[in-house]
Amino acid sequence: MPRLLPLLLSLALLGLLFVGVMISGRENREALPSPLIGQAGPAFVLPTLHEPGRTIALEDLRGAPFLLNVWGSWCPGCRDEHAYITQLASSGKLRVVGFNWKDERDDALRWLQQFGDPYHLIVVDQEGSTAIDWGVYGAPETYLVDAEGIIRWKYIGPITPRVIETQLKPQLIRLGVSL
């Protein structure tokens, strides 16, 4: 029996870890709340994907609400959500700005050619320093920014129809945008 004790303790700990992971669930995206909610989005000046010599500042995006979607060609979750991001953009009621993160330009362009480019425009943060300012944990992440540049909502993970209905739409209604 003494020889089995370490094995039994290890199995018990693994069982507790498994139960904890199952209880937490993937739908609980509030586990990593952003301290930026209700704050002005961190300023940036980034090159655009399609015209690398052109830069866009956060200030250039003010005037109407927009969705800032962090994505990369290397990101499987970005592919999962792409159809829903495309639907949001094609509604014509909300600008969707792409935030291409830590990606090679040619890879990003190839990905967009393969899956479609729904974005109003795409800024590029190849080094990732702006993403750090915005509190990006990983791709995909999506931010709702109001007309004054205030972050109103953040979602970590792929956007789904359920997320759009239960989380994004109520936030858009508060901003006077209906999908």
Question: Tens-digit pLDDT profile for the chain (179 aa)?
Answer: 667 666 666 665 665 555 554 554 444 444 456 789 999 999 999 999 999 999 999 999 999 999 999 999 999 999 999 999 999 999 999 999 999 999 999 999 999 999 999 999 999 999 999 999 999 999 999 999 999 999 999 999 999 999 999 999 999 999 999 87
Q: What pLDDT is recorded for position 178? A: 86
Q: What pLDDT is recorded for position 179? A: 78
Neighbours of 110 (CB within 10 A): 12
Question: Looking only at Cα atoms, what is the longest distance across the chain?
Answer: 71
Cα separation of 75 and 26, whole Å?
17
Q: What pLDDT is recorded for position 1? A: 66
Q: What pLDDT is recorded for position 21? A: 47
Q: What pLDDT is recorded for position 3? A: 76
Sort strands 55-57 and 45-47 into parallel, antiparallel or unpaired: antiparallel
Spatial neighbors of 135 by CB under 8 A, at least 6 apart, are 34, 35, 36, 154
